[in-house]
Amino acid sequence: MMKLKMTLILTLLALFTACTNQGERNAGSNFSEAVDFSKEDRSVRAIAVSQDGKIIIKPESQESSEAPGAPSCYGLETDLKWTGDYEVLWEPISGKGSSKIMSFPDEFEIIQPNDKAVQMEKITIGDTDLFAYFPSYTDCHALETYLFGVKDGEAFPITIAMNPEEQPLTHIGKHPNYPLQVTSGDLEIIGGEGGGREFVDVYHFSYDSEKHALILQKTDQVNGNDLRNELLKPQNDIVPYKGVRKHA
């Protein structure tokens, strides 16, 4: 009888231990799944997705954040302002591993409404996808604009040639209220407004796929009031360039 009791006790202990271990394994499995679902990298400041891979902008080594302060045309007091050394990475879909395609200047500043990665604006010229990155989502005069290209499984920064006798630019100022437009194969960028300026520059660029460069073809000057009046018309998706004064 005593033997039977001992056998029952040992059997129950074995079953209890097995159940406990299984429960721990299940808990560990659920925890791993929870981690997998929350793997979003909050340090990524911007991302562009193409059929060939992803362009990612994130801190290279250091980053600090603070509130911008009082609300203004540069942002709201609830926005986030980051400062650090940032890099642009290309992650091909082929799985070859990421590679750096550009670094931003030291103490580079980014202002956005929250800490979610910004989706870059996509435009296509010929067989090249261009992605526009705006470090700040708003500005009093012009949005600092960087462009990156993707073609044939490769990504690269786009330079901007304003004058053949000068060094190409790495970025350009774009009007905060008007999108980039491609017309007849050329990229049109409406420049920013300045205090006391009656006219706004409208840049017309061709794209050189070999040099990965935008080449300025001409500059129109448009009356700022005409642009603002067109902006107030909700039926207009494309801004007609009225009031052209001259070509440069």
pLDDT in tens, 128-172: 999 999 999 999 899 999 999 999 999 999 999 999 899 999 999
Q: Which stretches within the chain are classed as H helix?
A: 2-37, 224-231
pLDDT above 90 (res 247): no
Asked if residue 157 lies in contact with residue 102, where contact means CB atoms within 8 angstroms, the answer is yes
**Residue 56 to residue 117: CA distance in whole angstroms:** 9
Share of the chain above pLDDT 70, in %: 76
Provide the sign of the torsion angle of the four alpha carbons 75, 77, 79, 81, taken in this order: positive
Tokens (6 digits) for 8: 């029952």
| Bridge partners of residue 219, in order along the sequence | 203
Return the closest-CA partner of residue 58 out of 95, 20, 86, 94: 86
The structure tokens listed for 11 are 């059997």
Q: What is the pLDDT of residues 2-19, one digit of tens each?
A: 443 444 444 444 444 444
Mean pLDDT of 73-97: 92
Residues paired with 188 in a beta bridge = 181, 204
- Residue found by looking up tokens 């040639």 in the block: 161
> Contact 90/53 with Cβ under 8 angstroms?
yes
> Could you give the CA distance from residue 7 to residue 2 in angstroms, rounded to a whole number?
9
- Per the document, the length of the chain is 248
Between CA 78 and CA 173, with CA 111 as vertex, the angle to 5 degrees is 135
Evaluate if pTM is beyond 0.85: no
